[in-house]
Amino acid sequence: MERLSSIPAVQSRSRPRSPLAIALCVLIAAPMTAPAQEKPAPRELEQPVFARMLRSGDSAKPLLSLTEAGAKPLDTREAKLDLRIAFTTSKIWDPKGKKFDTVKLRSYQSPGTNPEVPFLAPTIVTSPGETVRIALDNQLPPQPDCHPADINVPHCFNSTNLHSHGLWVSPTGNSDNVLLTLRPGVKFEYEYNLPADHPAGTFWYHPHLHGSTALQVSSGMAGALLVRGERLPASDRTGDIDTLLRDPDGAAMHERLLIFQQVAYACRDSKGKIRTDDETGFWTCDENDVGEIEKYDDQFGFGVWQKSGRHTSINGTVLPTFDDLVAGRIERWRLLHAGVRDTVNLQFREMKAASASIEGLSGKALDNWVSKNCTGAPLKQFEVASDGLTHAKTIVKSENMLQPGYRSDALVVFPKAGRYCVLDAFAPASASITNAAEDRQLLGIADVTGDAKVADVEAYVTDALVASAHKRMPEGVRDSIVAGLRDHLRLDAFVPHKTITKSEVNGKGQTVVFDIKDKIVDGKKVGDIYLVDGKPYDPSAARDLILGQTEEWHLTSQRGGHPFHIHVNPFQIVSILDKNGKEVSVTGDLDKNGNVTDSQYANLQGTWKDTLFVKDGYNLYVRTRYERYIGEYVLHCHILDHEDQGMMQNVRVLVPDGKGGGISTTSHH
């Protein structure tokens, strides 16, 4: 019998299962029925479970290869995960009601799924050179006649597919092909062949079928995909940041994976209207209600998340407590915004001693509690990578503006023992998806123990990384790496891609314009039309690019802010100009007195990303290479309900024809 193995790459604290966990174990194994209300279980933050993947080298009956020492197990460098999609009935904590709401949502289920947090997919861990196979089994019920006349009207909520967000793999066949449709009852195996030079970093996976993406991701169908690397830098090549981020004893630096989700479930009255609280107007559920996500018109859209009163969850838990933190310990926090549309502005602030309990607080009452008790200066976050790609220089932040699809790898140190607020702080109007100042929200509380007291956190982190470099980096590059770290934590030896110079650009140039127009019928506005380059999504059309060329892209938006995301090939940021033509990719947005009003573009010049927020009226310039992979994929706005309603465009990378053009190897879909 074959042996299943998992990689215990992130340390987490195990604890006895609560009555809720036992009840949910039964739910996972048995037909899904609504559980009875129970006394709330402790809401300590759990680390996401790791996918139980069958690895070729772990088989009890492996293939054998002949060596001089005799027969040896043959590791074909493959790992397989079984991933089922089905409706799951479980519970989500409602802080204002001090109770769990029963919900029925589409979810991923796999061996090892945590029954306490079923609306969070398992974390896949892989490495460069490995092939990851995901056997997707769509067990959602059939939906006959789900295809509308307009493809940009949300539809077919039980059909799906899979996207490996950020992976540098082929977009065709059964690889990262988001143009496939997997209907209910269909089984399909995806195969991601990671090249040997794939960057090590934080990536993720989620559904990506046009018409149902937002609804499925908002239901919690998303998981982290970590690529771990062991390549040391050398004089002629860069290495993996993982080799530097080590504890004094040589073990991988203590890690913490935080997946932010915004599950917009709603309970409805007998007329189908969302049930709301008479006093606050927030969405609510009665004792016998079951929350669901089934509609776009009133569960997604401008300002809806704030009006709902729902809370951003971390690792599937609402308002968790972090209770295994140690003062003075440097940790690598892998932050992943797996929400659909609203900005998360992450801050850590020391809490006043003897603060009152937050139990039962929500809305204005909870915000007042935050104003009164979360008064400490924001802690520094040392971002070493974004979107899985290591920076040339660490970006020091006191707030971390995460847009949907963003990932941030940040080193975090709590300088002394105590309690800290984990906050989604106010996002400036210009920095947010909604173009309005978004409400501050408490995400959780961190309990920090230990006797250490760190006065200068930046010097403390620098000394630790310098010590690691002295101990572990190869002799030929050690001195230059140490000198770089001493120079404000430079990480040049670990950047996965070479800088794209202007002289390297040989393509014709590309322009992307996001826009939203009013949909007018009989002289009245009845909705919005979501556009890229003046057109809604057309699956029969594509932007043609040529393999081997290097392009500069110009990104802008004529209405609203939109996170631009393109599949397969990441891009390097060249310049970001505000509405007045001022460069803001170094300083961030400044007021007339030179004070930072929006920090999200600060220090981005020269960095690599795969998702980038495009402010209304700003002009962003990025460069990218088309290497190795041909085929058709997409670019789109990562506000996923915008994508579902037309803010997407197909892209084709063609084989060069030898005359400056390209040859298509596939027909349009």
With respect to residue 58, please indicate whether it lies within any of the assigned structural domains.
yes
630 and 651 in contact (C-beta within 8 Å)?
Answer: no
- Asked if the structure places residue 293 within a domain, the reply is no
Same domain as 198, residue 122: yes
Domain count, the chain: 3
* Residue at a domain's end among 228, 251, 286: 228
> What's this model's pTM, rounded to 2 decimal places?
0.91
**Residues 402 and 519 reside in one and the same domain:** no
Closest by CA to 618, choosing from 587, 582, 591, is: 582
Q: Which one, of 284, 337, 282, 233, lies nearest residue 102 by Cα?
A: 284
> 138 in a domain, yes or no?
yes
**Whether residues 235 and 173 fall in one domain:** no
Is 525 found in the same domain as 442?
no
**519 and 489 co-located in one domain:** no
| Residue 472 DSSP SS3 | helix
The pLDDT assigned to 653 comes to: 97
CB-count exposure of residue 61 (10 Å: 0-12, 13-18, 19+): exposed
User: Do residues 478 and 578 both lie within one domain?
Assistant: no
Helices (H) and strands (E) in the chain, counts: 7, 36
Residue 111 structural domain:
19-228
One domain, residues 603 and 483: no
**pLDDT tens-digit series, residues 199-220:** 999 999 999 999 999 999 999 9
Could you say which of 228, 252, 274 is where a domain stops? 228
> Do 239 and 223 share a domain, yes or no?
no
- Residue 423, in any domain of the structure: yes
For residues 96 and 103, give the distance between their C-alpha atoms in angstroms, rounded to a whole number. 17
Angle of the 475-486 helix axis to the 457-472 helix axis, nearest 10: 170
Give the residues of the chain that fall short of pLDDT 50.
1-39, 41-42, 437, 667-669
Phi and psi at residue 387, to the nearest 5°:
55, 35
Write the Ramachandran bin of 160: left for phi over 0, alpha for psi from -120 to 50, otherwise beta. beta
Taking residue 329's Cβ as centre, other Cβ atoms within 10 Å add up to 16
Chosen domain end from 497, 519, 544: 497
| Residue 173 and residue 133 in contact, taking contact as beta carbons nearer than 8 Å | no
| CA distances (Å), origin 467, targets 452, 464, 480, 569, 612 | 19, 5, 14, 34, 34
CATH number for the domain that contains residue 328:
2.60.40.420
Please check whether residue 456 lies inside any domain of the structure: yes
416 and 510 housed in the same domain: no
- Do 435 and 575 share a structural domain? no
Same domain, 215 and 361: no
Return d(Cα 253, Cα 248) in angstroms, integer.
9
Q: Quick check: is 472 in a domain?
A: yes
Residue 422 lies in a domain: yes
In a domain, 90, yes or no: yes
Task: Specify whether 546 is located in the same domain as 403.
Answer: no
Q: What is the pLDDT of residue 427?
A: 64
Which segments of 246-373 does DSSP mark as H helices, in order? 304-308, 363-373
Residues 316 and 21 sit within 8 Å (Cβ to Cβ):
no
